[in-house]
Structure formats: structure tokens, C-alpha cells
Chains A and B, each alone.
Chain A
Amino acid sequence: MADSVRLTTPLTDDVIEGLTIGTHVTFSGVIYTARDAAHKRMIELMKRGEPLPIDLRGQVIYYVGPTPPRPGAVIGSAGPTTAMRLDPYTIPMLEAGLKGIIGKGGRGPAIREAIKQHHAVYCIAVGGTGALLNRHIKSAEVVAFEDLGTEAIRRLEVEDFPAIVVNDCHGGDLLEAGKRQYRTSSRPIPAVQSLGG
């Protein structure tokens, strides 16, 4: 494995400043899980002016809905889900102090801009490697919305959880840069990742 930058949570501004696209990083410390349903509820709480179940300042959210653990296990398979589905919810989360996001796939232009503006970072873990990523999760505890099952908010303690920086606080976008670098096709590049889901 190439050299990677070891990050510990919560993330600080100066650490984020040093991260650039394509950098392999590892996360150690506490991160929180949240997907579509949990985000929807958090946004509703914000709209009503009610407190969130977690303090997002400096925190990292991992977009994941794990498989159930086998008896005695901490968690099941736990790889990232498509980040773009969370785009409609992401700006208020950044406004509430969220600093890091782990998902898969790209983000829309508005989110890329918001990540820059809020001095945050978006990383991908390798989609479809939930068994491998399981080994980096040392504990898991549901902290909110238990009724959502796999979509509940979980507090995870992770160790050397691997990820790659896709959108940095300088406005860089790895997926766009990567496609340009390795494209041998003469086809014009369409609006990046304009298919939803």
C-alpha cells in the first residue's frame, strides 16, 4: 500500500488544510454512521430548532448501512454507500460543523463548493469492500434512531480505516481529474455523475 496520511478524529482545520485529492488516508477514533433516513430526520430536527442527537462539530460521518453482526461480532459487512443521494442533506450538516464525510462516488457541484467553503473533506472508501472494512471497526453502538435498523446512527470506533480524498478544501475533485488523466476516448465528457440514485 502506498504511503498514507494517518488522521485522528475529530478533524481540525489545519489537518484538513493539508489534505489534497488522491491522498490515501486512514481514520482512527470515533466516526458516526448516517444514511438517507437518518439525514432526513436530522434535517427535520434542525428545521424545528431542536438539538441533534450528535454534536457534529469537527466530526466525521460515514455513509453506511451495515449487515447485521453474527453473534459475538462487533458489526457485519460495512462498506460505503453512494454519497450523491445525500447531497440534498449535506449543506446543513456542514453548517452544523461536520468536517469529514466518507462515502463512495462523486458529489454534485453544489456540495463540492460547500466542502470548500466550510473547509471540510470528502473521502471515499472502496465501495464493495465491506468485509475488509469490517476489520477496522473496533466497536459499534447505536446512538440515535434505533427504529431505523441498519439506517440508525451508530458511533463507531475505528482504527486505520482506509479512504481516499476525493474533494478537498481547496476545491479539488479527484474523480474529474482522474477521468481527464486516463481518458483516451474522443467523446466529450458529459456533466459529471448526473445520474441520481
Chain B
Amino acid sequence: MREVPAELITETVARLAIEATHFLPEDVEGAIRAARQTERSPLAVQIIDEILENAQVARERMLPLCQDTGTAVVILEIGQDVHITGGYVIDAVNEGIRRGYSEGYLRKSIAARPFSARVNTGDNTPGVIHTEIVPGDRIKVMFMPKGGGCENMSRYQNFLPGMGKQAVIDFVCETVDMSGGNPCPPLVIGVGVGGTAEKAMTMAKHALFRKIGERSPDPEVAELEQELLQAVNELGVGPQAVGGSTTALDVFVETYPTHITALPVAVNIQCHSARTKQAVI
């Protein structure tokens, strides 16, 4: 049994919060740069240039890439041979969020009571924290400051079991079409197919941690991802929805076996500021 102090989890989360909000992942920046070469709309190219310049300014001047530094979504993959000492793991994560959002001058965007007194909690806690037990004696900390504009465009629907792949493609395209500029395209799109309602949405979120261009190891799923990316980019939404050929940078699909009556499909959209950061303790 390997011992990991809770304080180390706190420090890691605080660091990831600051890094994720200031440094655009290289794969995302590279994909945006590549899109500049293929984009057909001059206005869209101008927008892409502003996005690239923003990444540089954020990095050099230590300013958050976006003022919406998000809900702190944290996925912990905890090895079953790890023993966390000196505190409760969820408290440790929330303390890390508190520290990172304060020390990093990040925006605190969490309202305490969702349907009544929407008072700001003042420290961006609580995070949305998922834990998974995995083999081994390490802890993988996955951090995503998830902006409201894109998260609010999430969608779930169950289809008739026989509707197959076409239902997935139609649903994803419709969601992107109807979302317009709200989720800040060019997008990264996470899709969960199968399982149950909550399983599908969790897979859709989890998929957003993949690197741009990283295809599913399952050939059938990889093919669906490519079809989806093409279909979405034919919609003409474009960067910030001003019209253009770059609506999404990538589409990631995760699947899970499902009930004989069901075809659950969940879409979780990420904006062009596709901020994620991971660490292994």
C-alpha cells in the first residue's frame, strides 16, 4: 500500500488550476493554427488570429486565457493500492481549487443555491469531482476549468435502439447547429454513446481530455469520429459562428454497452479554449 498525503493532492490541484487556465495545450493551439490554413472565410481567419494572439498574451503576461475560468471539474483516477493520508480526498481537492483560484487571480463563478439565492461561494468551490478506482498505486489528477458558455450547450437524448449511427450524427449536428456562437467555436466535441443517461454524459466529458487528433482505439468508433468531424464542419457555423469552414477541431466518442431498449447519446461541448491539464502523483 503506497501512502499519498492529502496535502499533495491539494498542491497538485492548485497548480493544475493555474496552469490550465493560463496555458493553452499545445495540441489545441496546433490544431487552431492548422485550421487557419484551411479556413475559407477571411473574417474567420481574422478571428483565428485573435485566438492565437490571445494564447500568446495569456502565456506571456500570466492572464487567464478566458475570464470564465469555469467550474472546476476534477477527475481522480485512484489506484487501488493507494492509501490517502492526512485528510479526506474530496476536501483535499476542494482546498486545491480554493487555493488555485485565489492565488491565480481566477474568477469565482459558483453560485451556492442553484434555483434560489444564487450567492457566490467566493472561492469557486465546490468542484465537480469524479473518482474512479483503477489498478496500480498512482493517482491521476485530471483538471478541466469548464466554461459556462459551452457547458450550457450540453445535450442528452435516448434514441430507439435500431436507429444506429445516423441518430448519433444527426443529434450531434443538430446540437452544434442550434448552439451557434454560444459555446465559442471552433469546438472540441465530446460524445458519449451507450450505458445509461449519467454514464453517457460522463463519457462525453471524459472524452474531452483526449489530445486533438487522438482517435479511438476501436476502428468503428474512430470512423464515426471522423464522419462526425466532417459532418459538423459542413454546417458552416465557423469560428464564433460568423460563418466558416472551421466549426470543430475534433470530435471524440466514447462508448459503453447499453440496455436492449436504449441508445443513449450525450454531447458535451468544449470551447476553443479547450483547457485541460493532468498530473500523476
Q: Which residues of A contact B (CB under 8 A)?
A: 1-2, 22, 24, 37, 64-70, 76-79, 81-82, 84, 104-106, 124, 126-132, 134-135, 149-150, 162, 164, 166, 174-175, 177-185, 187, 189-197
28 contacts between A and B (CB under 8 A): A65-B67, A65-B109, A70-B105, A76-B105, A77-B58, A77-B64, A77-B67, A104-B149, A106-B241, A124-B181, A124-B240, A126-B50, A127-B181, A128-B273, A130-B68, A131-B64, A132-B57, A164-B43, A175-B180, A178-B238, A178-B244, A179-B235, A179-B243, A185-B235, A193-B180, A195-B155, A195-B175, A196-B152
Kindly provide the distance from the CB of B51 to the nearest chain A CB, expressed in whole angstroms.
6
Partner among A22, A78, A105, A130 whose Cβ is within 8 Å of the Cβ of B180: A105
- Given A77-B66, A164-B43, CB of A179 within 8 Å of CB of B241: yes
Interface contact A174-B242, CB-CB below 8 Å: yes
Q: Does B158 contact A (CB under 8 A)?
A: no
* Residues A132 and B53 in contact, CB atoms below 8 Å apart: yes
Residues of chain B in range 95-125 having any CB-CB distance to chain A below 8 Å: 105-109, 118, 120
In the complex, are the beta carbons of B152 and A197 less than 8 A apart?
A: yes
Q: Give bound CA distance, A66 to B106, whole Å.
A: 9
Q: Is the CB of B57 within 8 A of A135?
A: yes
A185 to B234, Cβ gap below 8 A?
A: yes
In the assembled complex, the CB of B185 is this many whole angstroms from the nearest CB of chain A, namely 9
Q: Which of A126, A164, A190 neighbours the largest number of chain B CB atoms within 10 Å of its CB?
A: A126
B149: chain A residues at CB < 8 Å are 81-82, 104-105, 127, 197
Q: In chain A, what residue has the closest Cβ to B53?
A: A132
Top 8 nearest A-B pairs (CB, nearest first) are A178-B243, A197-B152, A183-B236, A105-B181, A193-B180, A182-B236, A185-B234, A131-B58
Q: Is the CB of A82 within 8 A of B46?
A: no
Cβ of B231 < 8 Å from any Cβ of A?
yes
Mask, B39-59, CB within 8 Å of A = 1, is 011110011011101100110
Residues on A with beta carbons closer than 8 Å to the beta carbon of B46: 1-2, 24
